[in-house]
Structure 1
Amino acid sequence: FLLGEIQYKAGRNSEAADYYRGVITADSTSDPAPQALFALGWLELERGNWSDAAGSLEALADRFPDHDIAPRSLIEAGLARLNDRNYDRALEDWRRVVGDYPDSIERWRALLEIGREQLRRGEHDNAVSTLRRAVKAPRDALDLADAQRLLAASYEASGDLAAALEACTTGLDHDPKPADREELLFSAGYLAHKLNRHTEAVSRLEQLLESFPEGGRAAEGLFWLGEARYAMGDPVGAEASYTRLIKRFPADKLAEEALYGRAWALNKAGNYRGAADAFKTFSSRYPDSRYAVDAGLREADCRFSAKDWGGAVRSYRKFYERYPDNPQGARAHYQWAVALLKQEHFDEAAARFGEHSRKYPGTDLDDDAAYMRGWALFSGGEYDAAIEDYSAFIAGYTDSPYRPQAAYGIADALYNLKRYDQAADAYEAMINNYPKSPLVGDAISGLQWCAVQLGQVDRAVDVAERYARRFPASPIADDLVMRVADLLYNSGDFDRASRYYSKLLSDYPHSELAPAALFWLGKAAAAGGDTSTALDAWRSLASRGGNDEAVAQALLMTSRINLARGDTSAALNSLVRVRKDLSTTDVAREARLLEGTILRRRGKTSDALSLLGPLSKEKPADLIVHRAALEASRALVDLKRLDEALALAKQVADLRADEVGAEAQFETGRILEMMGKSSDAVDGYLKVKYLFGSYSDWVAPALIAAARLEIEAGRSAEALKLLNQVARDHGDDEWGRRASELRKDLP
């Protein structure tokens, strides 16, 4: 036996076999006969003589069933039978190990191989049962990572994905060999994705690609990483994964799926142009793909979403003409018409919509197309044709949900034709015939505009009130009251408008329109001279909150009323709240300007400048900035900082050509006068007339101020010319009387 071992180590297998046979010839019943039989079987394994190898190894177990080497011999015999495709004999050998040697370490390997074979045969439940026994082996008895990998595959094949994922996770904890680790990482990522555990899937697949970038699972890993990222709401990451797969593995079987997935990911990410190009590339590269037809339609949809109306028209038309019998052909034809409408090719769009109804009568989009034909005519300004089309639609599509829109379209078309009497009747008919349509409110607004044109405001009010009585629980009941109030407000009937705004607040206290009603109640009351009601409404709005813009405007108007009443403290309180609590609203800057102005007038000059100074330097400069600069100039005058005040006033006068510019130019003359520069002051005052001559309220006081300085300088003739001009232009008003008073004392 030892001589045989020496020959085997030296690579002389024939000589080794002779010695092993000699052992058996000499003594076939005791050691080392079993070892010699095993060695002979091993030599046949190395030669690929699977049947002979199995025969020797099985003979060993038959002759020496109690020998320690018998279980291992059966394991190897089974593997030899497996290689010889004698699967049943392989299972017999391994089952002998489990049955005859239940305490041997080899039984674990036998269970593993039995489970592997059961999995290969598709006996998934049996494989699960066997491998669940195998994975209980001690760590040193079996490659547990391999066993868990097989168990995971068995669970997956039997449909228990959660158990399969758990087996993968356990296998990764057993320090698997690289090949097993690659497989376990891939399976864990794939299974986690299928179980909607996408974050876990991404983590496992990223580990796979980092550890095995060139591995056999790299292409699949990239694909399923893209799928998992897409599913978890990361289309950008998904697109990156698909792109890597396409670039690295262009010939892989998954490249087609990846290119299609990439197009969808771009679409999901909102990159509609990129998605359209990707779908187009897919269609040209894989014209026979099962996705090719869908990709053609998706290309058109993406061009539509990208607002590439011309591209959408071409793509929808191409799809429709290429696949006329496809179930999606009708949708493509309809969308082709919609894209034409978006291009404002109204006549062609109307023609396509009409063609759709003729080609696809009774289909899902039939009534859509019929209605849209009228809308295309309306949009193209063909109002008479639209009226005719809408009327035919209402008569022909008695069950369509678009009938209220068509009725409303008829009324709108009549309004645009300035046939207000007919339009009013059409709006009223729409309201009566389709009282539950969400367009009722718009129809009442249309009726109101007709009423304004016809001088029939009460008719519009009456229709709204009758509707409210007929449908008191209507979800637009409060909206109708608001619309009536708005109509009355816009008609100048502020008293009745106030009553309707109040009605909304009392009848619908929880309405979403309540804040707006409070705001406009204040406006209507103020316009009607009822400042107390206005203040009450705006205070209620301010305490209610909810709409920052409305609250800020209400506080600003409240401050103006209080200022007009002489209650500057109350005015300031409102303005301070805007500054502190509503600083981001549109009127916040105007409120800060008014607050600074009030503070200056109350003698709090430094506080005023702290508000007006920063406001006057904001960019870009607008009316509020320039008014703030003008008020800041006056504050600087109060502080005797005349040079700074003059610079600010000049800046505003130079930049504006409106009334604020005239006011600033007047201030320039006034400051120069305070500086003792009388001649320059006269020039400053006179520039008000030369540069801002259309603003008489500033020209007159400027000329009077210039005349007064001319009198003080002894230039009575020049002063008289200026005063005569004011008296001539203003007659007996305030400025005319002042000019006349000054002329009395002149020679």
Structure 2
Amino acid sequence: MTDRPFPLPGKPSMAGLVVGLLLVVLAETALLPPAVSATTDAPEQAQQYRYALGLIQRQLHEEAARVLARVVNDPTPFSLRDGALFWLGECRYRMNDWTGAAAAYSQVLREHPQSTFRDRAAYGLGWAHIKDNNPKSAVESFALVSKKDPKLWIDARLKMGFLMVRYGFDPTATQAVYEEILAQPGLTGPQQFEAHLQVGIGRFNASLFAEALTHFEKALPLAPPDKRAVVQFYIGESLFRSRRYADAEVALARVAEASPTPDLADKALYSLAWCKIKGGKPAEAEPLFRRVADNPDSPVRLEATRNLIDLLMNLHRYRDAVDLISKVIARFPADEAGELSYLRALALSRLGEFTESLQAFRAFLKTYPKHPRAEEARYQMALVQISMGKFREALDDLEDLVRRETTPALREKALYRMGECHFNLGGLAKAREYFERVIREYPKGAARVDALYQLGEIAYQSGDHQAALEAFGTIADSSSELAAQALFRSGEVLMKALRFVDAVPVFERYLSTYPDGRLRDDALFKIGLCQLELKDTGKALAAFSQLRDSTGYFRQEARFQIGEIARQVGDLPLAIQQYKAIIAEDPKNPLVSRARRAIGIALYQMKDFEAAATTFREILKEFPPSDVAIPECRLWLGRTLIAQGKKDDGILEVLKVPVLYPKSPLVAEAYAEAARAYADLGRGQKAVQMWREVLKFQPTGPLADEARTHLK
């Protein structure tokens, strides 16, 4: 609303101005006493001057300019030299020689400050600067026009105001110009309208909405028909900013009655939608925002779309928000696109689509690392990762967040989640430190109760399993909001105590008590894991199979586990089938790389070495080096090459594991594989070197025993 809604009248036609000024000059010349003319001016000069004026009357400006140039360049004194300079400027202006015109006008002002042509020269100089795209100089020139000619002064001030508004001059100075115009008597209706409108806009931009409304209301009856909608719109906006939402609704509805332009009609609809929201009727705002958002020519299309997305989020219509953002995000500039990218990721997390949400948050942070939402995105991503059981990844984000300067509320939540992550990772001392820190630094914080709960959990996880079961049992039997979680956690405590037989009925109790509980899939998955620990693959398969119809994280996890079980029992075709189902159904799932790796291992076990090698190579090509499956893929590709008889190539491949991934748990295994291959090649010294490396990384265990056997 800082831009002028419509242009001011342009410069009066040059022909009209020339004729008017010409009559004045000729009249003045005719009144000069002959004696003065004869004694003051050379007859040739006076004749040339009159000749030039005649050429101007016939619009022969180029010829007139040549004659006037001779007059002004003649060193002989000439009483009408100021007039000759002025008309020279006018001719050059008409010839589109803005620089030359400005030079002539400036010479009048500089050399003849008392000339009757002074104000008109200043006015013409302003127009020359406008044409030369120099608004600052134009404003300065118009300001030189005096009040000797009130009409010319008013017109010059209106031009000044227009330029100052259009080119963003100091608002206070701009307001002063229009207020000075309003104080001038004899303004025409259109001039009063323009001044009131611009003063109103200035007051509006200064957040003086009551004063702005007064000026807009004075401008409305003076407005020409094609400008009434504009003024009505400003009235509605002023009422809205004054929090008079009901009155604003009425005023904005009247914009449509005043024959607005399509652009203004859309702006009014947009503001009307906000009146509905502020008036407590958000549902009525949606169709208004949508009408504007669906119009590709609307000047407020992006604003309406953005607010429609916010409205859908506030109404908890997350699916609609995700769909709309996906459809429109390409329309927005980078900063707005970043905000929408964040909201989409957030909406996905609210929908429980954790994998997709995590990917969306990662994309947001990669594309917009310095976005104002970056810290909140890291926190939200950590929450998603926690929900998926990816505690280390969550901890990385939270640690980075705590190191930054952030809000107290976000910092408290981050500290709590860090303790939670350490707890789930088994870092009990660290977890205790963070939970105690939450209680100490935020004694009245929202996370205090949860931190106390987790501190109690740490005590059980430290090894006092019986105390843990008693505490969780007490909570599980209560009506606390944590009852379901405590019951589930009891099963996990039993699992940690290796009491898998006892853990299964606890999880089963959870499933029967909370059949729709948020941890249902997790409980089924844990039952499957318990049965695996109990070596009952049949019951494990039964548990995992119940997750194949789920829609959350554990759907693909269960499939992967079913595949792993099938591979372990030698049913390699079934294993491959499960892995391929993961890839086909959820190609963006984090498990995909592991599933493809498992397919390669199964093919290796089936002795289809060519297919296995192809699978491993495709994984290495398509996934980033940081992917969790990459080190093992390199190890298995090396094994496959060795099995194919390409031992040298295989050795080079397996050695990439310790070189590229020195912290990988597969380093010792990679060296062992290389040692065996070197031994097969008859290169005993290299084999010995490799076995020694094995002992460096794994001094105990089966590989260490094998290494020592070969080194004897």
Please classify the TM superposition score into its range, dividing by the shorter chain length.
0.3 to 0.5
When normalised by structure 1's length, the TM-score is: 0.43
Q: Look at both structures and tell me which one has the larger radius of gyration over its CA atoms.
A: 1
When normalised by structure 2's length, the TM-score is: 0.45
